[in-house]
Chains A and B, each alone.
Chain A
């Protein structure tokens, strides 16, 4: 932090003193260090401070520790914490006498032997907090031949902890692989300040500086003497990173018009060593900068020091890429617009759900046995899978709104997640779900209580939608466990089923806890946009307006009650030929005026020719032909 401030303000950096006065007996031969895993533990530095007095740490140090949120404990712990804050190097203090006593067991005449290594299978460690912990195979232990001392870079051990009796301190400062520290700390669920700092990367160069700074403070503030010599296990010192920097690259990436000299001057403020090499610059990174790896990192430093706000703002002048339509998105957006125009409110709902939540759609039916994308860490037990149904999400929203809204007309367009045929990822398929229930209109002072919506409201919305899309869609009676028998249709484009619509099964409405009035239907549609979107025509032909006068005729036909009206209409259109321009059903009757099992369908027919005024004879010929053909094909008779 202090470094950053110095660089940004272009002032010299104030650094702590790293010199240490070694006024004690030599350390040589008293401590040796072995590091087994230089990749995971690149450096391990130790110094010995003897004769430390148990005095309180000075007031200024306690004050600064408190400012940083640390509680002063005793002079040794306080110095250790203070150096971590000041230098950025976590460090550890061992009771030297404890280590020596242990060494008496394994090497009565030899040195203390600190050994950092991976654990043996099943090895455990007892940490400062008193817990015995099982170790992952990648977690580095600090040990001596008598056993474990600490978990490297994460937490100290119990026995060698500094106590009130401690007067001789073995001070340790080491470097650790930051990723290994992170995964070890996570596996052990030990989130110490040291692990946090090592987990973000502390350069090996700081280990020596931190150890020396702490030793000097122990000497000056706690009355210790520092043994002569430093044990520094650093088998593969990090080579300084030298980056070959092309000033043209800096200019291109930053958009700044800087000379090689400008760039060098900026980098030098951050302690980079910059040497011109022809057109280019050789930049040596300071050893405390682990994050600088390549030219782009240097551009970031340059931009930051130049100050982002001083960099100009320009619009893209680069070649415009080939422009590509996103047809499926365009069509989805067209559907959204049309559905909103038809009076439906769009929603976006949660895509995480539970199998049990979706099972409400299938009362008594066979359960949905398609595998779900399942979370291993769900936010709630009933939000543990990615949905199979958009309709289920919309019904939940409809239910929540049914507590206060008299009219509910909702739609959602969004993905469902079906286990993939190939590869680990699911097939994300787009669906449209519509839910309609409640009053047909808002209640106002002019109309009292409007009537409730029914099957034909939803049917009308879909009719209007498909008409606007210029896509002929057929409705055919079908059965589906989610819907009320006899009030369910499948939607067909040619032979292809694109969805199902109808009145929801009363059991489903109950299961979703829709607060609706008794017998008030809930209408729903579930449409597969993977099927529909590719069928949506991009263009269609305009039909010229005819100028010759139309002739209107009414025709009431009696047919079997079971015959679908659509069959009658298509027979009418086929029989009427080109002159029959419009067929509009205006009445459906079934009752005592007709024989049982029959119904009457009454149509307004509009005849019109593009090239002449139709005569009565023309129209009556058409009418006769229609009646004859419909009688032959459907057994239809004219209603008397």
Chain B
């Protein structure tokens, strides 16, 4: 709980007066609830928080948060949020978008915001489909996906969003899902605490156009054997009785193993802070889609200079060096002559 002028903020303080209009049963509801629940806990203030989104079902979220918000244009939210952060580096800036918004039309802005390490928290709701435009395949849809635009199955090879983020020099990369409020809250808290760009992939069920896309790993009884929780400093281990784990082969590649085969000491100890991204990247390759054991949690969390802080520092340094700007002096700094 956090307090402003003696008032304790609650989840209600982050709910706007707008009626939430996703389809009944949509996974977006639980993501919104997780955000509104965790914000009071992590000390967020409505007035210094900005939600920026592109276009899509996911991108409607800012309307429902009682903060500042911009529902912008398709794919451009990471860029727009960069402008917000550059102007007011003290704001808390969250970016919301779908898999199409972030990885198709907005892929370029996503990778550049990540490499610049702008202090924005990017939540990508991955439902592996275009929801708002009524069900075309997306850049994360599995190959062969039959949709209205691909009646004979899609030919495209999909992106692995975590791999894209790590390949884009992201300093914080995590995955969570809409079936586990606690895990989402914890992941959002971690993203908030990270200084710099945070990329969080949220598996989200679109029950209208891609229902059950994640059932193989997210159904309650499937989870123990299909989700690989990543916990910093701990051996990577999963399965109802902890029988499975992740070890590293002689090429340095992680693979899913039986603990009985490699022994507890043979398991990979997860290190979010490894400066080199190679291992985190390899972990993201453990599963090629939500039908096999899939890591969730924080893949990577490293410290890097924050873009807008550096921008401001250059401005400060220039003032320090040259004094505050004097336009008359600048205009007269080239060759001048006087006509009497």
Q: Do A and B come from one complex?
A: no
Listed in ascending order, the chain B residues whose CB lies under 8 Å from chain A are: none
